[in-house]
Amino acid sequence: MWVSVALETDAAHADALSDALMAAGAISVSVEDALAGTDLEMPQFGEPDGMNSGPGTPLWSESRVVALFDPAADLLGRVAAATVAAGIDELPGIEMEDVAEQDWVRLTQSQFDPIRINPRLWIVPTWHAAPDPDAINLILDPGLAFGTGSHPTTFLCLQWLSETLRGGETVLDYGCGSGILGIAAAKLGAASVLGVDLDDNALSAARDNAANNGVTLDLRHSRERLEQRFDIVVANILTNPLCVLAPLLAGRLAPGGRLALSGVLAAQAEQVIATYAPLIALRVGAEHEGWVRLEGQTGSPRC
């Protein structure tokens, strides 16, 4: 049995209160929007309609801090002391609720089922049997790095790779995250795949995921110089970094090379197209749940 403790505070105290609750013995602490589900809900971290959020953006002006504790006789006093330590002058209302013991691993796994990209391609967590053993199955579990295939932008890129690759291509996956796109490219017949990311944890996850799928990816940090050209370049990031990276990504295309960009909301497509226009003509190739995939190709097609 556990005890869930919930308190409401403002953005200025949410982080300090979280730290104080952990110091008071909390097993975990999360911060939520206290107005979630209402007209005043505030999107964060690049969610649709919240794309101006970013580093330095404060958390929700009305935050709900939820901590999980072992049951204890002095729990209320420890929570009250934590609010004082966080600089909160007036004790907020405290909601306490018993939480039954559960098999958390099994509960988490139950939220991730195999994902069908198309009849040719599936994503399958390690604890599931492949629904179609004859398809190309990407074995991938939720982890530290972005990219399990469930997000619309990843889905759009996987569809494109499945439809585009014929075998023997050189592929660049820029912002590779978990390595899911590079692994898919390798399994779809690419001759070589380079994955680039700025996060060492992502590169480590991509390396492990590639090994679990029996493929080889060349992986490197984005700080390393990138000079070679590729038949296929794919980048699933977000609009602003895609615009900043336009000269690099377009410049890595071989003659006849094909480019796919995702992480772009439908309302932002024209911005990205305009940014790339001096370098390569892009068009909207597909849209899924408000996100688009932009596609382009250089001249002199590969024979």
Write out the E strands in 186-302.
Answer: 192-197, 218-221, 230-236, 253-265, 283-288, 291-297
Least confident of 66-80, 218-232, 269-283: 66-80
Question: Do 145 and 283 fall within a single domain?
Answer: yes
Question: Do 96 and 228 fall within a single domain?
Answer: no
pLDDT band with cut points at 50, 70 and 90 for residue 226? very high
Candidates 198, 190, 242; CA nearest to 217 is 190
Residue that is last in its domain, among 38, 67, 101:
101
- pTM comes to 0.65
Query: How many other CB atoms are there within 10 angstroms of residue 143's CB atom?
Result: 17
Question: Do 22 and 62 fall within a single domain?
Answer: yes
Q: Would you say residue 72 lies in a domain?
A: yes
Report d(CA 284, CA 276) in Å as an integer. 13
Q: Would you say residue 65 lies in a domain?
A: yes
Q: What is the pLDDT of residue 215?
A: 96
Question: Do 221 and 286 fall within a single domain?
Answer: yes
State whether residue 112 is helix, strand or coil: coil
**Roughly what angle, to the nearest 10 degrees, separates helices 152-164 and 180-187?**
20
Question: Do 117 and 205 fall within a single domain?
Answer: yes
Over the Cα atoms of the chain, what is R_g? Answer: 23
**Dmax of the chain from CA atoms?**
75
Question: Do 123 and 253 fall within a single domain?
Answer: yes
Residue that is last in its domain, among 101, 120, 143:
101
Question: Do 60 and 202 fall within a single domain?
Answer: no
Q: What is the pLDDT of residue 169?
A: 98
Q: Would you say residue 156 lies in a domain?
A: yes
Is the pLDDT score of 123 beyond 80? yes
Quote the domain boundaries for residue 273.
110-297
How many structural domains compose the chain? 2
Mean pLDDT for the stretch of residues 129-149: 73
Question: Do 166 and 287 fall within a single domain?
Answer: yes
Angle made by CA atoms 13, 18, 19, in degrees to the nearest 5: 100
